[in-house]
Amino acid sequence: MFAAYVTVTVLAALFTGGAAVTYLIGHDYPKAQLDMKRLPRSWGPVLGTLLAAGSVGLLAGFAVPLLGTLAAGGLVLYFVGAFAAHLRVGSRQLVGPAVFLVVVVAALALNLGYHGPW
């Protein structure tokens, strides 16, 4: 159980950390995604900061389990919102947000399974 918890948590932190970097450096892909979802580009740095905080929180959860649980829960909400934003504009490009959502849900489930709810 511990190995799965560590592996999935680190994988989720790498995924979300990588996404955060693309938002924070102003890469073209997140800008195109914001445009496609009809969201203001000014949200890019905010979304990148949320992803970065979630990524760091997942890793900090190894030292403070409650922090990891809260970070994973926040990332689940983030990617549910991303999925909803795709559906709102009629986008059928759902694989990306679905993969991220599955990974962070798995991280949350393993965190709760390993540490318990509190």
For residue 117, the model assigns a pLDDT of 78
For residue 18, the model assigns a pLDDT of 97
How far apart CA 112 and CA 118 sit, in angstroms, is 8
Query: Residue 69 — pLDDT band, cuts 50, 70, 90?
Result: very high
What's this model's pTM, rounded to 2 decimal places?
0.93
Domain count, the chain: 1
DSSP-based three-state secondary structure for 61: coil
Query: Residue 116 — pLDDT band, cuts 50, 70, 90?
Result: confident
Domain residues for the domain of 29 are 2-115
Taking 80 as the threshold, does the pLDDT of residue 118 lie above it? no
For residue 93, the model assigns a pLDDT of 86
Identify which has the larger pLDDT, 45 or 116: 45
